[in-house]
């Protein structure tokens, strides 16, 4: 069992901080890529294991810094964890404290979602507010209002959300909750809380993302009664307790989408598995519209063929089953090389277009006005040093670097490593010329050769937004 040090193996953020990716672009990729378990399922399912008065065994857990971090949050609550490869055992029979540590929760937004299970199990929870992050303010008002509707008293003081359930039973009560926004996190927090509440909870305008369904299936495997996950009305009938289970996390649709774009942007053929093609419908449809042929080889396997021409296409990000905001940055990199003008409207988060200016450093022609990016396709990109400002922005820059002529250096790997399971290693295996090298090595090259461009100095952008997605 692992003590509060968390899980081993995922790259530590200090290593990621001091390394960069050096990409020599313009080369085709080839081969098969294995898609890892879904980050946004794994994180919330790990929090969901707090509901269980027994042991849970999770399979297909991706190797990510964010998984390590949420493991640290669980350890700090007294939960025992053991990781062997992609299997993670979580023993939450005893939860020693209801107070989640500030230093950890503020680094990882998803850990706030644990307020639902902690409150449901213990009747009391103390959770620091996660704060904003690189892509927007990201309030948690819907989580809080939903818990209040279920009978919790909630006070926010000194940046901490203190919640408790009055009454001798300390059990939350089922309620009818309408979410103003179909928030993924709020749906998950409230669904988890409701599994152990007295009576029936109905969540209306619930998020329909596959990760919400995955969490519901995990809870059902522990004995929860949840109906309608994947639709906009979820009904949960509370049960007295949940039991041990084994559960396999779904493949990561955003990682799969990122590799589909990697193939498209380098005009390559790739095979991806395992995937759930229905989870990728909006991504596949958009790629086909852009001119990228994609074939379903088997029920869990996709083959993408080399595109003759990349065509411009407009995108509006929307809750599932609309086009996912997490794929917006990678598609911006692709559309930067398409023929014609594309308009990208980011309607989920208010500050998620910061990669546009970094793509412009690589020769893209993108103008941003408010939450809309106007992308004028260019025939080629050329390598340059760039800085990833959030997880998906960093991925977009790697993709652009794969297509750009010459050398691209991507900084900001602490973001990338939070959400992609060894992206650089997987790309290397497909033939990409991509290497993780110490930042010091690049700086030494710059110092010794004045013709080498210096790395972007917007270090503040990099460091001020270290909170995870």
Cβ pair 200, 236 in contact under 8 A = yes
Q: How far apart are CA 34 and CA 143, in angstroms?
A: 35
We find the least distance from the C-beta atom of residue 400 to ligand EPU, in angstroms, to be 17
- In angstroms, the CA 437 to CA 17 distance is 11
Site membership for ligand EPU, residue 392 (CB under 6 A): yes
Q: Identify which of residues 65 and 455 has a Cβ nearer to ligand EPU in the complex.
A: 65
Q: Rounded to the nearest whole angstrom, what is the least distance from the CB of residue 50 to ligand EPU in the complex?
A: 16
Quick one: which of 123, 349, 397, 399 contacts ligand EPU (CB under 6 A)?
A: 349
Of 391, 393, 403, 427, the one binding ligand EPU by CB under 6 A = 391
Tell which one of 326, 358, 417, 421 touches ligand EPU (CB under 6 A).
Answer: 326
Q: Is 261 annotated as a binding residue?
A: no
Q: Is 449 labelled a binding residue?
A: no
Which residue, 143 or 355, is less far from ligand EPU as judged by CB? 143
Active-site choice (133, 161, 219, 301): 133
Is 40 annotated to bind a ligand? Reply is yes
Contact status: 185 vs ligand EPU (CB under 6 A):
yes
Question: For ligand EPU, which residue of 10, 177, 348, 386 counts as binding (CB under 6 A)?
Answer: 348
Is 421 marked within a binding site?
no
Binding residue for ligand EPU, selected from 184, 283, 287, 294, defined by CB under 6 A: 184
CA torsion, points 406, 411, 413, 415, in degrees to nearest 10? -120
The 3-class secondary structure across 266-315, one letter per residue, is CCCEEEEECCCHHHHHHHHHHHHHHCCCEEEEECCEEEECCCCCCECCCE
Active site residue 133: yes
Report CA-CA distances (Å) from 299 to 44, 258, 278, 302, 463.
26, 19, 10, 8, 42
Residues within window 122-181 making contact with ligand EPU, judged by CB under 6 A: 136, 138-143, 181
Residues 410-429 that bind ligand EPU (CB under 6 A): 419
**Tokens in use for 123?**
């009747």
CA distance 455 to 228: 50
What distance in Å separates the CA atoms of residue 362 and residue 47, rounded to the nearest whole number?
Answer: 39
CB 420, CB 410: distance < 8 Å = no
* 462 neighbors 102 (Cβ within 8 angstroms): no
Residue 43 in the binding site for ligand EPU (CB under 6 A):
yes
Q: Of 69 and 426, which CB lies nearer to ligand EPU in the complex structure?
A: 69
Residue pair 355/329 in contact (Cβ under 8 Å)? The answer is: yes
Q: Which residues bind ligand EPU (CB under 6 A)?
A: 39-40, 43, 109-110, 136, 138-143, 181, 183-186, 207, 209, 325-326, 348-349, 391-392, 419, 469
- Binding-site residue set: 39-40, 109, 138-142, 326, 348
């Amino acid at each position: 069992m692992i003590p509060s040090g968390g899980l081993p193996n995922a790259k530590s953020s200090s290593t990621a901080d001091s390394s960069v990716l050096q990409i020599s672009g313009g080369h085709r990729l080839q081969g098969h890529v294995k898609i890892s378990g879904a980050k946004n399922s794994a994180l919330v399912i790990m929090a969901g294991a707090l509901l269980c008065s027994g042991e849970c065994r999770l399979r297909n857990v991706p190797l990510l810094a964010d998984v390590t971090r949420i493991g640290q949050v669980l350890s700090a609550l007294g939960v025992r964890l053991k990781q062997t490869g992609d299997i993670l055992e979580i023993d939450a029979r005893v939860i020693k404290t209801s107070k989640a540590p500030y230093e950890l929760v503020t680094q990882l937004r998803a850990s706030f979602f644990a307020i639902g299970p902690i409150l449901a199990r213990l009747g009391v929870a103390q959770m620091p507010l996660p704060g904003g992050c690189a892509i927007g303010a990201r309030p948690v008002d819907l989580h809080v209002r939903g818990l209040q509707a279920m009978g919790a008293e909630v006070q926010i003081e000194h940046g901490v959300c203190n919640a408790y359930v009055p009454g001798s039973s300390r059990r939350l009560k089922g309620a009818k909750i309408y979410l103003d926004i179909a928030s993924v996190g709020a749906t998950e927090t409230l669904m988890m809380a409701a599994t152990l509440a007295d009576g029936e909870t109905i969540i209306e305008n619930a998020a329909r993302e596959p990760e919400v369904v995955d969490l519901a299936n995990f809870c059902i495997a522990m004995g929860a009664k949840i109906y309608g996950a994947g639709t906009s009305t979820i009904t949960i009938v509370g049960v007295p307790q949940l039991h041990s289970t084994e559960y396999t996390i779904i493949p990561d649709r955003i990682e799969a989408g990122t590799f589909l774009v990697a193939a498209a942007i380098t005009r390559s053929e790739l095979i991806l598995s395992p995937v759930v093609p229905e989870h990728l419908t909006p991504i596949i449809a958009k790629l086909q519209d852009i001119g990228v042929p994609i074939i379903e080889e088997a029920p869990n396997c996709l083959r993408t063929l080399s595109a003759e021409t990349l065509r411009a296409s407009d995108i509006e990000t929307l809750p599932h089953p609309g086009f996912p905001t997490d794929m917006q940055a990678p598609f911006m990199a692709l559309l930067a090389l398409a023929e014609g003008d594309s308009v990208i409207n980011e309607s989920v988060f208010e500050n998620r277009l910061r990669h546009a200016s970094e793509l412009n450093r690589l020769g893209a022609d993108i103008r941003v006005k408010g939450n809309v990016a106007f992308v004028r396709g260019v025939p080629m990109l050329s390598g340059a040093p760039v800085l990833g400002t959030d997880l998906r922005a960093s991925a977009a820059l790697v993709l652009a670097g794969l297509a750009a002529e010459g050398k691209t250096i991507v900084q900001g790997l602490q973001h990338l490593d939070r959400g992609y399971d060894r992206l650089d290693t997987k790309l290397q295996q497909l033939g990409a010329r991509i290497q993780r090298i110490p930042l010091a090595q690049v700086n030494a090259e710059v110092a010794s050769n004045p013709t080498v461009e210096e790395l972007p100095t917007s270090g503040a952008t990099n460091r001020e937004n270290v909170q995870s997605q």
